[in-house]
Structure 1
Amino acid sequence: MTARPPEGSAALVHGEALAARHVDALLKTVPPRDPGTRPDASARAERQRRRWATQVVVVDELARRACAERGLRPPEEVRPSDVLAVAEADVADLGSIVAAVLAHSPAARALLAALEDRQDVPESAVRDYYERSPDRFLTRDALRRGVDPFSAPSGGAQPADFLPYEAVRAGIAHELRRSAGRRSFFAWLDEARAGVVYATGHEHPGDPTHPDHEHRH
Structure 2
Amino acid sequence: MSRPDAETLDALVLGTDAPEDREAWEALVRNPGGAEMFREAVTRRRRRDLVASALLGRPWLARAIARLSAMSRQTKAAPTGTFSLLFPDAELDALVTATLGPAEEGPGAESLAPRWGQVVPVRMRVGDRITLEPSPGADPVDVRYVCQGAEGALPTRTWKLEAGEAPVLLVALVGTAPGETLAEALVHAKAMAGVVLLDESWSL
Same fold (TM over 0.5): no
TM-score by length of 1: 0.28
**TM-score normalised by the chain length of structure 2:** 0.29
Structure having greater relative contact order (Cα 8 Å, sep ≥ 6) = 1
- By percentage of residues, which structure has more helix? 1
Higher strand share: 2
Larger radius of gyration: 1
